[in-house]
């Protein structure tokens, strides 16, 4: 898909998510209610099939949509649905979920109870469908359902770098959410007054936001780099670099935006935590910073000190 079409698609997703995903919905989902209306809307617009091989869109388009989903903390396992339909050649409105396989169990499967089919991926990029499973329910830091399944595994053939695409989904979502929390904070410090003026006027506040903005920009570009490398030999390494760098940004930015929101942002009534708690979850899912940084580091060591610059400079 051309960048112009991608832009149109991003704008239309943006419209739908901004109209439908609000604090009320996020709270309802957090209390255990599956967002049926939102799911229906996603299916009606065909977003769930965007990553299938005959959709006419590129994988990059699907990840552009995931950034938007991150911006609104869309409480649907959209990444799982997109990639699940791709790997299962899906064409209907079944909910598909995906977790990470660890031995004979599959961990952190979103909404397994609601899903029609569940998949598991391994760090060596194999994909399995799980059948006849038993599930233990759990939740991530954002209180989103993340179940643990054990059952029968049947391997599904795909040429995709499945695990790395799942990791990329987390860094795309995070890139979107990081931009959003920065915007929310800029807005808040302009409205909140202390000592007779908006706290945005205080240099300490300005400097902390500048630091956060720099981290958000770095995360955005790190995500770009990984998306641009889809299908290329260095994809895994760009994902590794991206997941590591975005993880670092999440640590810095979530701390600053909460600090600047004061006690208000620490309340459940405020919307900020719907984003920050997801960021903390996505940072860990499908490999945390140290996992990906060490994969990149081992690779760079194997290249040798004199080839590391060439690796860095060979990014497109």
Partner 1 sequence: MLQFDPVQLPDSSHALRDEIRQFLAANMPSGHRPNSDFLSGHNPQFSELLGTHGYICMNIPVEYGGGGRSFFDRYVVAEELLAAGAPVSAHWFSDRQFAPVLMQIGTEQQRKKYLPDMCAGKSYFSIGMSEPNSGSDLAAIRTSATKVDGGWRVNGTKLWTTYAHLNHYMIALVRTAPVSENRHHGMSQLLIDLHDDSVDIRPIKNMGGDEDFNEVVFNDTYVPDEDVIGEIGNGWNQCTAELGYERSGSERFLSTFRVYIEFLKLFTDPPNDLQAAAIGRIASNIMALRRMSLSVVGMLEAGKMPSIEAALVKELGNNFEKIMPEIARLAAPLDADKTEFNRTYRESILLSPSTTLRGGTREILRGVIARGLGLR
Helices 59-71 and 203-228: crossing angle in degrees, nearest 10, is 160
| Nearest residue to 73 (alpha-carbon basis) of 133, 5, 22 | 22
Shortest Å, Cβ 14 to partner 1: 15
Which residues of this protein are in contact with partner 1, per CB under 8 A?
183, 186, 189-190, 200-201, 203, 205-207, 209-211, 213-215, 217-222, 224-225, 228, 238, 240-242, 244-245, 248, 289-290, 292-298, 300-301, 304-306, 308-309, 311-313, 315-316
Q: Which residue lies nearer to partner 1 by CB, 92 or 233?
A: 233
Please, are residues 41 and 20 in contact by the beta-carbon 8 Å criterion?
yes
Q: Within 13 A of 213's CA, how many CA atoms are on the CB side?
A: 10
Q: Which residue lies nearer to partner 1 by CB, 81 or 226?
A: 226
Shortest Å, Cβ 278 to partner 1: 21
Q: Which residue lies nearer to partner 1 by CB, 143 or 202?
A: 202
Residue 263: Cβ within 10 Å count: 8
Shortest Å, Cβ 172 to partner 1: 14
Q: Which residue lies nearer to partner 1 by CB, 81 or 209?
A: 209
Please, are residues 241 and 294 in contact by the beta-carbon 8 Å criterion?
no
Q: Which residue lies nearer to partner 1 by CB, 93 or 224?
A: 224
Shortest Å, Cβ 310 to partner 1: 9
| Whole-angstrom distance, CA of residue 239 vs CA of residue 8 | 26
Cα 22 to the chain's mean position, in Å? 18
Shortest Å, Cβ 100 to partner 1: 18
Residues 6+ apart with CB under 8 A from 37: 20
């Amino acid at each position: 898909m051309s960048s112009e079409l991608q832009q149109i698609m991003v704008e239309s997703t943006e419209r739908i998510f901004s109209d439908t995903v609000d604090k009320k919905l996020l709270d309802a989902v957090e209390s255990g209610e599956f967002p049926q209306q939102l799911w229906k809307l996603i299916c009606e617009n065909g977003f769930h099939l965007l990553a299938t091989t005959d959709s006419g869109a590129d994988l990059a388009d699907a990840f552009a949509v995931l950034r938007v989903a991150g911006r609104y903390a869309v409480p649907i396992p959209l990444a799982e649905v997109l990639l699940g339909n791709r790997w299962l050649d899906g064409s209907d409105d079944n909910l598909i979920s995906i977790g990470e396989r660890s031995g004979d169990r599959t961990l952190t499967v979103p909404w397994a109870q609601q899903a029609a089919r569940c998949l598991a991926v391994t760090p060596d990029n194999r994909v399995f469908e799980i059948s006849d499973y038993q599930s233990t329910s759990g939740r991530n830091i954002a209180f989103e359902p993340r179940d643990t399944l054990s059952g029968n595994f049947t391997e599904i053939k795909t040429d995709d770098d499945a695990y790395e695409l799942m990791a990329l989904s987390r860094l795309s979502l995070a890139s979107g959410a990081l931009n959003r929390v920065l915007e929310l904070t800029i807005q808040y410090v302009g409205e909140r007054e202390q000592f007779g003026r908006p706290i945005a006027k205080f240099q300490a506040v300005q400097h902390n936001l500048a630091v956060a903005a720099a981290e958000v920009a770095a995360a955005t570009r790190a995500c770009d780099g990984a998306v641009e490398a889809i299908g290329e030999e260095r994809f895994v390494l760009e994902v590794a670099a991206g997941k590591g760098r975005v993880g670092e940004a999440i640590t810095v930015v979530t701390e600053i935006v909460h600090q600047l929101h004061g006690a208000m942002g620490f309340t459940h009534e405020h919307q900020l935590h719907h984003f920050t708690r997801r960021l903390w979850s996505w940072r860990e899912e499908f490999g945390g910073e140290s996992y990906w940084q060490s994969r990149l580091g081992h690779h760079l060591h194997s290249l040798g000190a004199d080839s590391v610059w060439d690796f860095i400079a060979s990014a497109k």
